[in-house]
Amino acid sequence: MTESPQQRRAMWRIVLTVLLILAVAIGSIVAGANWNRWFGGGSGNASSQIETEGEDWTGDRPTYTGKKNTDTIDIPGFDSMTFKAGATTQSVNLYNPEQNTCYFRLTLVLADGTRIWQSKLIEPGKGLHEIELSQPLSVGDYEGVTLQYECFSLDDQSQLNGSDITLTLHVIA
């Protein structure tokens, strides 16, 4: 069976249309991938630019934080803490920020509800670097541990708002 001239022309139109669509698609991909390099106006990759205003790091410096708002309480957050297995004395960095106008009482509670430590009232600007747990812990990751922040007035020690921070406690050998 032979093809008519009309059928051949129709087939060539289809082939040429497909090739044209492919050429436009490939051109668009190439242009998109190189657009910033061709027209970005920058000098190279942004991640390779060096900060010229940097200086030697010497620790935190005071910054302007605005007028002190005595109606808010700053509560430090933690994603995780690391303790030593089999010991009740643990090193920590728990503190009450100096801008607060209240006491903190901190409590560590395991996911099953077991309270393993509670502080006395911590004044603003004071912190704890060592705590004594009520029981030693075994090696492992303890998910869902709660660090409870209870806040109390400096004047009459009446209870204020508080916060619960959920964290992972890593206990290592």
Tens-place pLDDT, residues 78-90: 899 999 999 999 9
Residue whose token pair is 């490939």: 26
Distance of alpha carbon 43 from alpha carbon 117, whole angstroms: 55
Residues 31 and 87 in one domain: no
Residues 90 and 24 in one domain: no
**Is residue 64 situated within a structural domain?**
no
Low-confidence residues of the chain: pLDDT under 50: none
| Residue 67 covered by a domain | no
pLDDT of residue 1: 62
Give dist(CA 76, CA 93) in Å, integer.
10
Domain span at 110: 80-172
Question: CATH number for the domain including 138?
Answer: 2.60.40.2550
Amino acid at 108: L
For the sheet containing 163-172, what is the strand order? Answer: 80-84, 163-172, 140-153, 102-109, 115-118
Q: How far is CA 113 from the centre of its chain?
A: 26
- Give the chain's domain count: 2
Match 């920058």 to its residue by tokens: 42
Which pLDDT score is estimated for 55? 66
- Does residue 32 sit in the same domain as residue 93? no
Does residue 105 sit in the same domain as residue 163? yes
Instruction: Tell me: do 86 and 168 sit in the same domain.
Output: yes
